[in-house]
Structure 1
Amino acid sequence: MSDAIIQASNVHKSFDNIEVLKGINMEVQSGEVVVILGPSGSGKSTFLRCINQLEEMDNGYITVADQQIGYVFENGQLRYASTRQIAKQREKIAMVFQQFNLYPHMTVLENLIEAPIGVHKHPKQEAIQYALHLLEKVGLKDKADAYPSQLSGGQQQRVSIARALAIKPKVILFDEPTSALDPELVGEVLETMRDLANQGLTMIVVTHEIGFAKEAADKVVFMDGGVVVEQGPPEQVISNPQHHRTQAFLSRFI
Structure 2
Amino acid sequence: MSSDAPVVSAVDVHKSFGSNKVLKGIDIDVSAGEVVTVLGPSGSGKSTFLRCINQLEEIDSGAIFVDGEQMGYELRGERLYHLPDSAVRRQRRKIGMVFQHFNLFPHMTALQNVVEAPIGIHGRDKTEAREEAMELLRRIGLAEKANSYPRQLSGGQQQRVAIARALAIKPQLLLFDEPTSALDPELVGEVLATMRDLAEGGLTMLVVTHEISFAREAAHRVVFMDGGVVVEDGKPDDVLNDPQHARTRQFLNRFI
TM over 0.5: yes
Q: TM-score, normalised by structure 1?
A: 0.98
Structure 1 residue aligned with 2:255: 253
User: Paired residue for 1:194?
Assistant: 196
> 2:171 is matched with which residue?
169
Moved more, 84-93 or 66-75: 66-75
Q: Secondary structure at the match of 1:205?
A: strand
Instruction: Find the aligned partners of 1:203 and 1:20 in 2 and give their Cα distance.
Output: 22
| Matching residue's letter, 1:237 | V
Match of 1:152 in 2: 154
Name 2:119's counterpart in structure 1: 117
Map 1:226-237 to 2 at 5 A: 226-237=228-239
Task: Indicate whether 1:209 and 2:221 are aligned.
Answer: no
Query: How many percent of aligned residue pairs carry the same amino acid?
Result: 63
SS in 1 for 2:166: helix
Letter in 1 for 2:30: V
Aligned to 2:136: 134
Cα distance in 2, alignment partners of residues 3 and 199 from structure 1: 20
Q: Secondary structure at the match of 2:215?
A: helix
Instruction: Check if 1:80 corresponds to 2:71.
Output: no
Q: 1:11-160 maps to which residues of 2 (within 5 A)?
A: 11-74=13-76, 77-160=79-162
3-state secondary structure, aligned to 1:237: helix
TM-score, with structure 2 as normaliser: 0.97
**Alpha-carbon separation, structure 2, partners of 1:114 and 1:192:** 21
Counting matched residue pairs gives 254
One-letter amino acid of the structure 2 residue matched with residue 208 of structure 1: H
Structure 1 segments of 4+ aligned residues over 2 angstroms from their partners: 72-78
Q: Where in structure 1 are there 5+ consecutive unaligned residues? A: none
Distance 2:206 2:19 in 1: 27
Amino acid of the structure 2 residue aligned with 1:116: P
CA RMSD of aligned residues (A): 1.0
The 5 A counterparts of 1:175-186 are 175-186=177-188
Task: Measure, in 2, the Cα distance between the counterparts of 1:39 and 1:64.
Answer: 26
Q: 1:192 & 1:62 partners in 2: Cα distance?
A: 28
Please give the alpha-carbon distance, in whole angstroms, between the structure 2 residues aligned to 1:183 and 1:231.
Answer: 28
